[in-house]
Structure 1
Amino acid sequence: MSVITTHRDGDVLVVVSNNPPVNALGFAVRDGLAKALDEAAADPAVKAVVIRCDGRTFFAGADITEFGGPMKDPQLPELLERLEALDKPVVAAIHGTALGGGLETALACHYRIAVPSAKLGLPEVKLGILPGAGGTQRLPRVVGVAAALEMIVGGAPIGAKKASDIGLLDRLAGEDSLAAEAVAFARDIAEKRPLPRTSEKQAVAEPGVFDAFRAANARKMKGFEAPEACIQAIQAAAELPFAQGLEVERKLIRQLMASDQSKAQRHIFFAERAAAKIDGLAPGTPLIPVKSVGIIGAGTMGGGIAMNFLSIGIPVTILEMQQEALDRGVATIGRNYAGNVKSGRMTEDQAKQATGLLKPTLDYADLGQVDLVIEAVFENMDVKKEVFTRLDKIAKPGAILATNTSYLDVDEIAAVTSRPESVVGLHFFSPANVMKLLEVVRGAKTSDSVLATAMALAKQIRKIAVVAGVCHGFIGNRMLKPRQDQAGQLILEGAKPADVDRVFLDFGFPMGPFQLADLAGLDIGWHRDPTRRESVRDALCAEGRLGQKTGGGFYDYDEKRNRTPSPVAERIIAEFAAAKGIAQRAISDEEIRERCLYTMVNEGAKILEEGKAQRASDIDVVWVFGYGWPVYRGGPMFWADLVGARTIVDGLKRQQDRLGPDFTLSPLLVAKAEKGETFN
């Protein structure tokens, strides 16, 4: 069956795409649209054309399976020029999402009508590219330069109401009457001339709009190449005739497609989708229905986890040992929801509905009938074992028992229960109601149904989930350790905290390890004895330097929490190093990179060797979505592929004597270097 069909409704030719799941603009769709245009042009009885889609959405973008390879003709830019040049009016009838090439198709049509629930956007910037089928030239001509900058450089879709307000849509239709209303609209405008061709309009730019936009968005755009290319393309739309603007757009997209940044961003796009696939899981593995959740611990983590479920309408019973702690936790959840309402992320009714599903309790028995229990207590094996021993006695048969541990052995926790097959690790990242990553830790005995349910549930609560095996720290924290150890050692050997942090900031991290430590508080896990100075952090805490909150940690802070290098902290570090007999020296940026970042790649290779991650791209997903690895560098394993395994191994060998007695090179990394292979 053809993915594009046509039928006549009186004098209107209706062109329908049916290319599930998202009507992507692959070759068959483009070819079918070209033939439909020929049909419309050749038939004198056709006075107007409607293009719409069956299924859940309008064209939602390019066919991603064609990325990276040669595209078959007709290619989208040329097809859209033909569409716009047709001498009969064409109406785009939009439902679902019109994204990327889908919105570019709608822009090439002479008119656009949509249902109120539709979303429209040009998200290409998120793949490190720009809209390459005329989107940067047509959108500014329709909605003006300022609105086009927001949509193209920001990349976020907008709702139909806003699209209508800015002139992107000509009409809104009823949710259930789009097809009929589009045909009626086409009939209304069938004789209207001249046809409103977007390419013939003028893109209006206010003076100074481009520099003002760059200044306002400098922080968000820092390090990325695609946003600036998008701005230049839109500037061409405002300053050049359409045909010349298209040439600028095409030149810029060619440059971006060939760049490492776009390769990295496209890699993450595919990696995120691959992470949802579970190795060795039979298709059709039955899922366990989860209609109620219990959470043990109402602290920052427990409260944040609860919000994920409350926000999608799943009732949560939250347990604490003391009334005061319970009240504090419930109050924090309430404040967080109030903040969401204030910022416009949700309505007052939605917040009320969510908090109404929360049941606070001090009694374990209240968890007896929930479908999933998540333990979010103190990170201590004895405490967690005690919790799971109690849970095993009261949880109903078939309930999933999950631990939100960051480091601990999930199998050891599962072993205290009579049902280790029901136990799984769900490592949320703080703040759990905001951070997108979820490490789903598969125990030795975790059942396939429990694992599949955990992954499906992650999607429901809008998390990006990655399966990890049981090992200390799983994927993310295990790789964080060598980085943190080396950063700590480097400042003892003579690097300043600001030097180490600068290398991380230049690489694209939002903050360096010492900025992060000051933000979190240096007293996390501190033994509170000022006479015991076993680490630099102990020494800083002993002198009242607990981080940002006390105005000093590794840095000094002013009342606005702006940091400056601290002579006091540097003296404390130098004294600690002298007491340990460590001579200080000048340290290069290259050594900081090799010792902090190359060691992470080495640990990632060990994780793959041991089968604790399913694939290299899963490691990349963990680091991009959980730890601030810059998306335009594609994650540590993809970055290693760009740098080359040989370069990484040579750098680690160069630093071997300084990496400590426990450091060993990963045999997998060495093998990749010797064979010239990549991880991805």
Structure 2
Amino acid sequence: MTTINPVTDLTVDAGVAVLTIDSPPVNALSANVRAGILAGVRQAVADDAVKAIVLICAGKTFIAGADITEFGKPPTGPSLPEVQAAIEDAPKPVIAAIHGTALGGGLEVALVCHYRVAARSAKCGLPEVNLGLLPGAGGTQRLPRIVGVEKALEMVTSGTHVPAPAAAEMGLVDLLTDDASLRADAIAFARQVVAEARPLRKVRDLDDKIAAARGKPEIFAEFRRANARRFRGFDAPEYNIRCIEAAVELPFDEGLKRERAMFVELLNGNQSAAQRYYFFASRQVWQLPDIGADTPLLPVKQVGIIGAGTMGGGIAMNFLNAGYPVTIVETSQQALDRGVRTIRANYENTAKKGRITAADIERRMALLTPTLQMERLADADLVIEAVFENMDVKKDVFGRLDRIAKPGAILATNTSALDVDEIAAATSRPEAVIGLHFFSPANVMKLLEVVRGAKTAKPVIRTSMELARKIGKIAALVGVCPGFVGNRMLAQRQREAQKLVLEGALPWDVDRVLYDFGFPMGPFAMSDLAGLDLGWVREKSSSSTLREILCEMDRRGQKTGAGYYDYDEKRNARPSPVVEQVIRDFAAKQGRTSRVVSEQEILERCIYPMINEGAKILEEGKAIRASDIDVIWVNGYGWPVYRGGPMFYADTIGLDKVLETLRRYEESFGADFKPAGLLEDLVAQGRKFGDLK
């Protein structure tokens, strides 16, 4: 064996050179890895005893992509195209032996090899689109030449990881093998290639699959049309499509130049910066400064849930999906039966879409124990309360639970805004109490706010975070305050949206501005979807708000066919002249004069107070990092990932601009816009939220 460099070695096995990359954790294409591959290929080519080369990786995976920490930094070592050229132009066959994942630059390296052997468990993909980028090393030019235009379009715009058997069907992989025999089978395949004098097949020279699409722009037009909703707001999917078009219509080298130019444009743009920022933020959110890996994890084998309504049932599904036995408690048989029926119906709908099987449904439902007796929770390791959002009700539940739950059990509340410490005080073991704020629908939404009480024990916190990971959530640890992080900031936007419609903007004006910004829907459309009558009681209604007036008119949202908007039988929304008149009349009664409100003002008054509140949250230590706030907003509230999150967005537009705008609005509209002290300090110091550690 010859050591090429610290991450690469070369061995020769009866005429086959095996070039092994060993750069944990994922063999990313760092400068060292690139240099090692280049030197190893050159050495193997120069050795007359070598007839073929196998490129393989140690550890859990083949090359899983570029080293994105190098993005935006001066280049060091050989470039990836230089390494690829050495492989592609080698006078001896080069075979990629793929296990784990061949992603991004890893797949682009495999594509310049003359043949590809893959373990059946391997996956291949070009996920750069998820970082606001496109494959910048020939991926968009070579992929359609080997798998065809339609499959290439789907792969580069979705970032999908394609299982090896499917990759083999596409022609991307030449031989499938078992994980344990990958090295031996790749060497045997290399010898077969030599013995049969197979050609040094270069993907760049293949033409038949792109020729079929040449002169057919309708293929691309239809793909754009079919995916317009999925791609809305994002730059990278369109750039990827244009590169595939270039692969079809241009000579290979010209297509490469087009791809490179578009890659650089995306790399230097705000969207990719935001998406790369979010990539790291979503990993850093799991790091808890005062809770180390030596903090003991509590055993959780049995889960109890109190409440079988929409939220309780959705929470139960998360644990059933992960294989946890769940006991779910309700106060009436009717409510319990309805909750169980809803869980089954949700699973059946998922099965109809082909995502799970009938056997999966029965396996999960068999783990569910419905009961009317809270005493059945005595053996649960974790109990989650999901009852009505009322402090007295929750305290009563926790008082009873304290007498039933076994010592060491985690007692969690799903409250979205109430004081977790007050709830914990209803027990004799506040150290066991934590907030687990799931977002609705709980079986769909990825975010989980883990709310740390003043007395919550560290093992309870660490266990809760690890459980979140096991049930497929992304968790952010936050502190106790009204609304925690997400809803506390949302309240700022909701307040301004309501004020704006009384000053002259209409609900659909506000919604349009926020939709165009990148949110899936605006606040008024969201209210209609959720139901305007949530928490509303007719007997207590006093016509003191627009919402109350609309509820009194039985305009309660989509479910009644009318809310802020009018709806047709398919729930398509139309601006409502009735609501417009209600708003005018209500504003007039308050002595307000209608004025023209610009789109810029709508955006600033909805977004900047959220940023300001985020600064206060950081100032108070209720979030660990600014990036945690951004993770919460991207996953829980539909903040467009291509804008990074509210705190990153503030850094992008400039904190000095945010501060100046808040001060201007404070003069006009009062204390709601008073800037946070942290924001003022950061501007004075010339720093950003991203500079906070």
Superposition TM-score tier, normalisation by shorter sequence: over 0.9
Looking at structure 2, the residues matched to 661 and 272 of structure 1 have their Cα atoms a distance apart, in angstroms, of: 34
- Out of 201, 209, 214, the residue aligned to residue 206 of structure 2 is 201
Q: How many residues align structurally?
A: 680
> Cα RMSD over matched residues?
1.4
Aligned to 2:612: 602
- What amino acid sits opposite 2:233 in the alignment? G
Looking at structure 2, the residues matched to 56 and 344 of structure 1 have their Cα atoms a distance apart, in angstroms, of: 30
1:556-635 correspondence to structure 2 within 5 Å: 556-635=566-645
Contact 1:601/1:636 (CA < 8 Å) preserved in 2? yes
Aligned to 1:18: 22
Looking at structure 2, the residues matched to 664 and 657 of structure 1 have their Cα atoms a distance apart, in angstroms, of: 9
Looking at structure 2, the residues matched to 673 and 15 of structure 1 have their Cα atoms a distance apart, in angstroms, of: 52
Identity of aligned pairs, percent?
59
Contact 1:400/1:450 (CA < 8 Å) preserved in 2? yes
Aligned to 1:676: 686
Kindly provide the CA deviation profile for residues 53-108 of structure 1, in whole angstroms up to 9, marking residues without a partner as x. 22211111112332332231212122112111111111111111111111111111
- Out of 123, 135, 142, the residue aligned to residue 131 of structure 1 is 135
Equivalent position SS for 1:383: helix
Q: How big is the shift at 1:348?
A: 2.4
Aligned to 1:82: 86
Looking at structure 1, the residues matched to 61 and 544 of structure 2 have their Cα atoms a distance apart, in angstroms, of: 60
- Residue 229 (str. 1) matches residue 239 (str. 2): yes
- What amino acid sits opposite 1:128 in the alignment? G
Contact 1:530/1:539 (CA < 8 Å) preserved in 2? no
Q: How big is the shift at 1:649?
A: 1.4
Q: Name the CA shift for 1:500/1:190 in 2 (closer, same or farther; >3 Å).
A: same
Aligned to 2:446: 436
Give unpaired runs (5+ residues) of structure 2. Answer: none
Looking at structure 2, the residues matched to 129 and 427 of structure 1 have their Cα atoms a distance apart, in angstroms, of: 33
1:158-197 correspondence to structure 2 within 5 Å: 158-191=162-195, 192-197=197-202
Aligned to 1:477: 487
Equivalent position SS for 1:262: helix
- Out of 393, 404, 423, the residue aligned to residue 414 of structure 2 is 404
Kindly provide the CA deviation profile for residues 244-289 of structure 1, in whole angstroms up to 9, marking residues without a partner as x. 1111111111111100111111111111011010122234211112
Contact 2:124/2:164 (CA < 8 Å) preserved in 1? yes
1:289-300 correspondence to structure 2 within 5 Å: 289-300=299-310
1:245-260 correspondence to structure 2 within 5 Å: 245-260=255-270
- Residue 67 (str. 1) matches residue 71 (str. 2): yes
- Residue 155 (str. 1) matches residue 147 (str. 2): no
Looking at structure 1, the residues matched to 672 and 223 of structure 2 have their Cα atoms a distance apart, in angstroms, of: 50
Looking at structure 1, the residues matched to 366 and 21 of structure 2 have their Cα atoms a distance apart, in angstroms, of: 43
Give unpaired runs (5+ residues) of structure 1. Answer: none
Aligned to 2:455: 445
Kindly provide the CA deviation profile for residues 448-479 of structure 1, in whole angstroms up to 9, marking residues without a partner as x. 11111111111111111111110000110000
- Out of 399, 412, 421, the residue aligned to residue 431 of structure 2 is 421
Deviates more, 1:207-216 or 1:617-626: 207-216
Looking at structure 1, the residues matched to 465 and 288 of structure 2 have their Cα atoms a distance apart, in angstroms, of: 9
Looking at structure 2, the residues matched to 662 and 196 of structure 1 have their Cα atoms a distance apart, in angstroms, of: 67
- What amino acid sits opposite 1:506 in the alignment? D
Looking at structure 2, the residues matched to 324 and 369 of structure 1 have their Cα atoms a distance apart, in angstroms, of: 25
Looking at structure 2, the residues matched to 346 and 174 of structure 1 have their Cα atoms a distance apart, in angstroms, of: 26
- Residue 547 (str. 1) matches residue 552 (str. 2): no
Kindly provide the CA deviation profile for residues 300-330 of structure 1, in whole angstroms up to 9, marking residues without a partner as x. 1111111111111111111111111111111
Aligned to 1:535: 545
Looking at structure 2, the residues matched to 574 and 594 of structure 1 have their Cα atoms a distance apart, in angstroms, of: 23
Aligned to 1:466: 476
Equivalent position SS for 1:466: strand
Contact 2:666/2:672 (CA < 8 Å) preserved in 1? no
Looking at structure 2, the residues matched to 628 and 644 of structure 1 have their Cα atoms a distance apart, in angstroms, of: 22
1:455-534 correspondence to structure 2 within 5 Å: 455-529=465-539, 532-534=542-544
Looking at structure 2, the residues matched to 547 and 252 of structure 1 have their Cα atoms a distance apart, in angstroms, of: 44
Aligned to 1:9: 13
Could you tell me the TM-score, scaled by structure 1's length?
Answer: 0.98
Contact 2:450/2:475 (CA < 8 Å) preserved in 1? yes
Looking at structure 1, the residues matched to 669 and 362 of structure 2 have their Cα atoms a distance apart, in angstroms, of: 53
- Residue 302 (str. 1) matches residue 312 (str. 2): yes
- What amino acid sits opposite 1:190 in the alignment? V
Equivalent position SS for 2:360: helix
Equivalent position SS for 1:189: helix
Deviates more, 1:88-97 or 1:529-538: 529-538
- Residue 211 (str. 1) matches residue 216 (str. 2): no
Kindly provide the CA deviation profile for residues 504-524 of structure 1, in whole angstroms up to 9, marking residues without a partner as x. 011111101111111111111
- What amino acid sits opposite 2:547 in the alignment? R
Looking at structure 2, the residues matched to 329 and 70 of structure 1 have their Cα atoms a distance apart, in angstroms, of: 58
Equivalent position SS for 2:629: helix
Could you tell me the TM-score, scaled by structure 2's length?
Answer: 0.96
Looking at structure 1, the residues matched to 302 and 8 of structure 2 have their Cα atoms a distance apart, in angstroms, of: 44
Kindly provide the CA deviation profile for residues 131-150 of structure 1, in whole angstroms up to 9, marking residues without a partner as x. 11111111111111111000
- What amino acid sits opposite 2:60 in the alignment? R
Looking at structure 1, the residues matched to 31 and 637 of structure 2 have their Cα atoms a distance apart, in angstroms, of: 38
Contact 1:146/1:205 (CA < 8 Å) preserved in 2? no
Equivalent position SS for 1:465: strand
The list of structure 1 runs, each at least 4 consecutive aligned residues, that deviate by more than 3 angstroms after superposition, is 657-663
- Residue 238 (str. 1) matches residue 248 (str. 2): yes
Looking at structure 2, the residues matched to 557 and 470 of structure 1 have their Cα atoms a distance apart, in angstroms, of: 39
Aligned to 1:108: 112
Kindly provide the CA deviation profile for residues 609-668 of structure 1, in whole angstroms up to 9, marking residues without a partner as x. 000000111111111111011111110000000111111112112222454555532011
- What amino acid sits opposite 1:54 in the alignment? A
